[in-house]
Structure 1
Amino acid sequence: MLDLVNRSCLITGGSKGIGLAIAARFARAGATCTLIARHERPLRDAISVLAESGQQDHRFLVGDVGDKGLWEQAIKMNPGIDILVNSAGQSQTSLLLRTPIQEIDDVIRANLLGTIYGTKFYLKEMTRARRGCIINISSVLATTGGAGSSVYAASKSGLHGFVKSIAKEASRFNVRINNILPGYIETEMTAVIRSSTKAETLPNPPLGRFGTAAEIADAAYYLATNDYVTGTDLIVDGGYAIR
């Protein structure tokens, strides 16, 4: 179904993994996508993937979501988007006592501040238009915690209160905001966690497997197209959180 035709989407972390899977899902539904990531070559490759949907007008922007200058540039490039997906993130695979201060700052900056900045810049545009949808990629670790992931879990947990508050502020303008809380998904990020000697052994969830980026993309599509859902945390984790 091409029910995102004439919709414009901006997706951070869109060059690979969950971000790219969401962009591809939206493009197949007719949306025009702008991807943001820190490196140009993967972004160009990602745009080629999106072009397979039949559209050729997807774009990209290189930058760091924790830099407000990036968002100033993005808003000039795409002043009126319909859907913002905050998917950019950084993992952590060390106990807190062994985690460098700079890494702590980087994780909070990428996972929490980047989402807050993006939301702030585009929320103004969306409230003026009296429509919009914001989707944040959080993590099931925001609710369960995880040894070796304390800063990461804290950064993702912060999105819970953020979304609850923004949903109350923005609903009267017909702007919706939600979190997706993926469990362990087969991506480059979890491959790094699995291979790290610092991380605990990752248990399989009750469904017996890691999830796929496409399954998270389907959840994002649901949130993008259901106009009666806002302020929620949608857990997609194979039952990991009920352990």
Structure 2
Amino acid sequence: MAIDPATTQPTHLADKLNWLRAGVLGANDGIVSVSGLVMGVAGAQVSKEALLVAGIAGLVSGALSMAGGEYVSVSSQADTERAALDAQAARLELNPATERAQLAEVYRQRGLPPLLADQVADELTAHDALSAHAETRLGIRAHELTSPWAAAVASLVAFAIGAAIPLVLMLLSPTDARFWATLIGVELALALTGFSSARLGGAPVGRAMVRNMLVGSLGMGLTYLVGTFFAG
């Protein structure tokens, strides 16, 4: 029985879902962070110019912080994966027969008959031994490590988009209506991100939406009270 190595490659769907989930969560962080900031500043009864400065400062600093944190995190993960790949490559060079036997054993433990497990191990080893061991035993794609820069840019953009929602609502609404306009707009945005994250993660949608909206409401309410306290 011929084994097509391509059929043993992990699907890209999980990676795509992870990126989408990270984008949704980044946007959600931007919404919650900057909505709380502008609500607090608005509670102090400041001008729109002051709101603009505070909002942009929060957007830029938050987006850069998210990007930097994501870059460091993914870089650390990539370094760990590279070290694991280097160690696996060294083992393959020193003990190819032992490594091939261990690969076959993995497939036997997953339910393949012994003869078929040996054949799969032989064909995958002949095609690309390092990739076969990395994907099967380490859960790593040997030639597709996550890019720290791509992760950082995705986090920066997602946060900035989310942060822009409360900032624009606060700035474009009439002064006497900006609190409620921003509150309603932010709650709708949080409901959307809660819905999206729940669907991507297979979690109950209603619970995620309510939780998101309650956290956002709490943050905005508390910071608004702090702003009114200092204004008074």
The TM-score with structure 2 as length reference comes to: 0.25
Structure with higher RCO (Cα < 8 A, 6+ apart): 2
> Which one has a larger percent helix, Structure 1 or Structure 2?
2
The TM-score with structure 1 as length reference comes to: 0.24
